[in-house]
Structure 1
């Protein structure tokens, strides 16, 4: 009964790409891909710089907020479609609920 049992403390950590969260690294990787598709060195450099800027803005917007803040923001600000709409909750444009 004196066995040293390892109990993990972080089961629900976000996915990582290197040291960065996926939602912070995604704008940079997407812009890197678009820069590659541009086919020129200047286009690649400009897209990479824009990707770094967007990733830093995402990291600052996410600082000191809930881990799922980007998903919550997308839920409230993107239009609903049949694939992303939730059946148990009202549409996101209804801000006040009675009951």
Structure 2
């Protein structure tokens, strides 16, 4: 048995779609799909353009921050619904930290 095994250093990287992180590429993919469903060239172009703007906004918002910044931003800015509510953490309206 060899003692010089390879240990990958980046197991927690975000999923990639080509060169882009999945959270930046997903709005464009959704825009392409919805534009295709619309059945018109105008709708496709409008949805594609809007989704590219959203993707660019997300990329700029994410910038040099933590890789899960978008998830944290969504938690603090979306209303607490059963889909976004986490029971083990305080509600997003509670801004004062104790400790």
TM-score bucket of the superposed structures, by smaller chain: 0.7 to 0.9
Q: 1:34-83 deviations in whole A, cap 9, x for unaligned?
A: 11111111221221122222111111111100000000001001111234
Q: RMSD over aligned Cα, in angstroms?
A: 1.8
Count of aligned pairs? 99
Partner of 2:45: 45
Q: Give the 4+ runs in structure 1 shifted more than 3 A.
A: 1-4
Q: Measure, in 1, the Cα distance between the counterparts of 2:86 and 2:46.
A: 38
Contact 2:31–2:47 (CA under 8 A) maintained in structure 1: yes
Query: What TM-score results when the alignment is normalised by the length of structure 2?
Result: 0.87
1:29 aligns with 2:50: no
Query: What TM-score results when the alignment is normalised by the length of structure 1?
Result: 0.87
Structure 2 gaps, min length 5:
none
